[in-house]
Amino acid sequence: MTRDVTPQREDDDGRTALDRPDAGERGILVHVSFHGPAADDQVQEFEELASSAGVDCVGSLCVGRAGPEPRYLIGTGKLEELRHLVEGTHADLVLVDHALSPSQERNLERALSGRVLDRSGLILDIFAQRARSHEGKLQVELAQLRHLSTRLVRGWTHLERQKGGIGLRGPGETQLETDRRLLGHRIRQLRSRLEKVRSQRAQGRSARQRAAVQTVSLVGYTNAGKSTLFNALTQADAYAQDQLFATLDPTLRRLELPHADDAVLADTVGFIRDLPHELVAAFHATLQETQQASLLLHVVDASDEQHSEREAQVDEVLSSIGADEVPRLLVMNKIDLAGAPVRVDRDDAGRIWRIWVSAATGAGLDLLRETIALALRPEWVEAQITLGFDQARLRARLFELDAVIGEQVSDSGWQLRVSVAKRSLDKLCHDEGCDVELLDESAESPASSVKVSNRVGAPSSSVRVTEATTQEVSEHGVE
């Protein structure tokens, strides 16, 4: 088969090394599973990943082994079968649904005379296509360079020879060492730029906190309908398609809530099984919107038969980025496809922990807005605060919040009796420093009917399912 590849080179030991050929769009998918056949949902997900990347799948090969083969990951028999499949279909690209070491990737490319990508490389390519904003492009480039830096080790043997170059490299420096140096320099540049982005986002969050604006962040498995739900709740026009990783750049819009202050709704990148560590690290600035949110809406595709496993995988990613302690509400989306009615699920105490809606048809969205409003309503406390005369600024702030219900003046300062949201009180006292004595914490919070769990799954062994309306939620939510 005739291929357009770059000329071959010889290594120092005389062996021929083939430069990596250009990637094409005709691809073969290789599903590798150990200790049993590959699950159908994993095979389908990898096919969707390839389709999202624009690959025309012209063939597939399933490989089952007891363990990975060190040189090629797959055995030599399957490798020969794969080589014939590549030649017979004129494929330009081989996609492997498993992590490949640099040497395994290079050995496969030599044997197949074509481009080989593992799962991480495919996901990185999709992210590179989806990035639109300056921040998104920086994050994707950083992830790609981190991934590439591991491929410079034993992946490019022809770069290990020493080469001259006036003003380009030091005496005796090999091409591989030069590439490592330039790669490291570019990675440091990207980290510096992303640090500025992180600082800008932190300033934006600080401004929202000072204005007491709460943030609700959408999280969930990719293609669960987060962007469609985001558009339905905010009347935005964010890009939404039935494909994996349709949304990459974070989007924030105002969320109007009934009988409550407006909040900010954030649409973030979706998660997936075996998400590359390079992406998690590179998207740290974006994922901070999730870490710092007041409430997470964990969106789940109710029509997906594997939705329980998807929930657990999202939970693992949230834990890895430090967002496992953020209050969470489970939103079962796509009930129009699942054939399920609009409803809320309550625990034994009558508190909502899961809600069923359809972002595409709008069914249950009013109920969801009411539930979010109840979940965000603060816990109110009464407290006695002792302030010195040098803390007049904090005293003025409490009067601005209309929180003071009584005041006594002494020789050393003021004693204020306040009724205020506990979250606001904690923040004020943390920032300013003062002596606080809580007087009454027995009163039930207005949002006590909403269970915002810090873990995925039912909060109780017994769950009561209720056909709900907005009026019912309101009646249960306020004592």
pLDDT 10s digits, 174-217? 666 777 777 788 888 888 887 787 777 767 766 666 556 788 99
Ranges 86-100, 115-129, 431-445, 464-478: which has the least confidence: 464-478
333 vs 258, higher pLDDT: 333
Range among 39-43, 215-219, 394-398 with highest mean pLDDT value: 215-219
pLDDT at 138 over 90: no
**By the 8 A CB rule, do 141 and 190 touch?**
yes
Question: What is the per-residue pLDDT across 259-272, written as a single tens digit (0 to 9) for each?
Answer: 777 899 988 777 77
Q: What is the pLDDT averaged over residues 228-253? A: 72
The per-residue pLDDT for 173 is 56
CA gap 334, 123 in Å, rounded: 25
Mean pLDDT of the chain, nearest integer: 76
CA gap 244, 427 in Å, rounded: 39
pLDDT at 445 over 60: no
Would you place residue 345 in the very low, low, confident or very high pLDDT band (cuts 50, 70, 90)?
A: very high
The per-residue pLDDT for 420 is 78
Question: What is the per-residue pLDDT across 415-444, written as a single tens digit (0 to 9) for each?
Answer: 888 887 776 777 676 666 677 787 754 444
The per-residue pLDDT for 356 is 96
Ranges 207-221, 226-240, 241-255, 344-358: which has the least confidence: 241-255
pLDDT at 350 over 60: yes
Would you place residue 339 in the very low, low, confident or very high pLDDT band (cuts 50, 70, 90)?
A: very high
